[in-house]
Amino acid sequence: MWKKVLIANRGEIAVRIIRACREAGLQCVTVYSTADKTALHAEIADESVCIGPPSVQDSYLNMNALISACQNTGAEALHPGFGFLSESAEFAQLCIDNGITFIGPSPASISMLGDKARAKETMKAAGVPVIPGSDGAVTSVEEAKKIAAEIGYPVLVKASAGGGGRGIRRIDREDQLEEQMSVAKEEAKLFFGNDEVYLEKLIVGPHHVEIQIIADQMGNTVALGERDCSMQRRNQKVLEESPSPLMTPELRKAMQEAAVRAAKACGYYNAGTIEFLVDDDRNFYFMEMNTRIQVEHPVTEWVTGVDLVQTLLVAQGKPLPFTQDDIEVRGHAIECRINAENPEQGFRPSPGKIRSLHIPGGPGIRVDSAVYQGYTIPPYYDSMIAKLIVHAPTRSQAIMKMRWALAEFIVDGIDSNIDFQLRLIKNKDFEAGTYDNTFLEKFLADSKNDKDNGK
């Protein structure tokens, strides 16, 4: 089998994969743009190759440069991480065509699930509950109006190729439809190079609850409990926890079964996440499937004890070393995403030099980070610089641990969202576990009003 893996990513996920490769006895090669010469993933790998200038188009999204880097270093496999090319069926196929193992699902699964409108149709046919909406893409405003009237306003128009919360627009009344549909199409075209959109009923006050699965190439598919990612700003996750505060044993069983059915319906192997919305009556609906390792995977690793970079084994064609019966969810884990940004100034990114850094530690505390003291964060990439994850026997103990870990965390020289995360963790609705996907936007609006009123 292969001995050397190329990691086609940067930041904390590249560092996470380097560590996993080392534990598996594999050599690791990383790639970097000229803006990332001193980045941690470039510094600590066995070998690192410059693949281009700062712009992602010319570096981390440059397929030919990545294939050449594999060929020049003798890497036999490639791990895409998340973001960048992780959900590109074209790139996965290009790796295979060049004799490089793509550590992920098959290109066919990626392209089927990456088309969110088509994925919903497949899931519906497999008996997985989906959010009411258009059957596939909608092309004309007239057709959209007809469907929206049938399912009832408010509705969302969503990009078929969407990701990262982009290309989603809310429509409350028919007279807004034409304009919002065109806005969503433009954004989708800009971000994903594909302006196809579909319609979905807006679930009011929903909870984002997703099921982690892992499947091998023999068809063994195991569900690893859920994560609650309802704490979102602009449809992007800010904080995640497992178990979900609204979970019951029956709901978990039903959602896990639906997730396994969803994965099997598309012959899926690799780690993957089936995202659902859950309403107040605990009805759940399939939203999309992410065909890669996810930012928030550590919370699942902690409550299940399963290392999700087992995908290295799956990609080698080996069977999973456990079955569903071996999986038990233990204790409670919470993750806070630590971003270089200023919450007081509309979450404006804050690149720059880290003058001093203190990372919390102790039992039940894990920090996956890509920064070090003296490191200069470049302005070109995602603002997430670290993830702080805690684990404790109960949710309230995990919250207490997270409070003190955040309070201890120091990143000086740049702005960060650490104090903002601390305010969220101390919030009464968070503590009570009653928050839903709309909580954070309301929290921000309330804080703004308090400030405007001089409170």
- Report in angstroms how near the CB of residue 274 gets to ligand ADP at its nearest: 11
DSSP conformation class of 347? T
Which residue has the CB atom at the shortest distance from Mg ion?
A: 275
- Report in angstroms how near the CB of residue 120 gets to ligand ADP at its nearest: 10
Q: Tokens for 133?
A: 């909406």
Distance CA 147, CA 130 (A): 16
Nearer to ligand ADP, 162 or 272 (CB): 162
Among the listed ranges 19-27, 29-37, 289-297, 400-408, the one in contact with ligand ADP (CB under 6 A) is: 289-297
Q: Extract long-range pairs of 434-440: CB within 8 Å, 24+ residues apart.
A: 434/245, 435/230, 435/231, 436/205, 436/206, 436/207, 436/230, 437/205, 437/206, 437/207, 437/208, 437/230, 437/232, 437/277, 438/205, 439/230, 439/231, 440/231, 440/232, 440/233, 440/238
By a kind-dependent CB cut-off of 5 to 8 A, residue 73 interacts, out of ligand ADP, Mg ion, none, with none
Backbone angles phi, psi at 267, to 5 degrees: 55, 40
Range 360-419, binding ligand ADP (CB under 6 A): 382
Among the listed ranges 45-53, 95-103, 155-163, 372-380, the one in contact with ligand ADP (CB under 6 A) is: 155-163
- Report in angstroms how near the CB of residue 219 gets to ligand ADP at its nearest: 25
Summary count for the chain: helices (H), strands (E): 15, 22
Question: What burial class does residue 182 get, using C-beta atoms within 10 Å of its C-beta: 0-12 exposed, 13-18 middle, 19+ buried?
Answer: middle
Asked if 338 contacts 384 with a C-beta cutoff of 8 angstroms, the reply is yes
Residue 212 φ/ψ region, left for φ over 0, alpha for ψ in the -120 to 50 degree band, beta for the rest = beta
Count CA atoms within 13 Å of residue 325 on its CB side.
Answer: 0
Distance CA 299, CA 434 (A): 19
Residue 15-44 contact track with ligand ADP, rule CB under 6 A, x = bound: ------------------------------
Asked if 209 contacts 298 with a C-beta cutoff of 8 angstroms, the reply is no
Q: Tokens for 190?
A: 């800009």
Nearer to Mg ion, 115 or 275 (CB): 275
Reference 386, options 336, 427, 420; nearest CA is: 336
End-to-end CA, the chain: 63
Reference 197, options 138, 145, 153; nearest CA is: 138
**202 part of the interface to ligand ADP, by CB under 6 A:** yes
Q: Tokens for 249?
A: 């044993």
**Has 10 been annotated as catalytic?**
no
Distance CA 452, CA 77 (A): 54
Which of 5, 6, 119, 131 contacts ligand ADP by CB under 6 A? 131
- Report in angstroms how near the CB of residue 277 gets to ligand ADP at its nearest: 6
Which of 168, 246, 313, 367 contacts ligand ADP by CB under 6 A? 168
Range 218-277, binding ligand ADP (CB under 6 A): 232, 235-237, 275, 277
Nearer to Mg ion, 255 or 425 (CB): 255
- Report in angstroms how near the CB of residue 10 gets to Mg ion at its nearest: 21
By a kind-dependent CB cut-off of 5 to 8 A, residue 372 interacts, out of ligand ADP, Mg ion, none, with none
Residue 262-291 contact track with Mg ion, rule CB under 5 A, x = bound: -------------x----------------
- Report in angstroms how near the CB of residue 315 gets to ligand ADP at its nearest: 19
Which of 5, 78, 156, 260 contacts ligand ADP by CB under 6 A? 156
Nearer to ligand ADP, 27 or 91 (CB): 91
By a kind-dependent CB cut-off of 5 to 8 A, residue 391 interacts, out of ligand ADP, Mg ion, none, with none
Reference 270, options 307, 303, 314, 233; nearest CA is: 314
Please pick, among 10, 166, 169, 292, the residue that the annotation labels catalytic.
292
Residues binding ligand ADP (CB under 6 A): 82-83, 131, 156, 158, 162-166, 168, 192, 200-203, 206, 208, 232, 235-237, 275, 277, 287-288, 290, 294-295, 382, 437
Binding site for Mg ion (CB under 5 A): 275
Catalytic residue numbers read 292
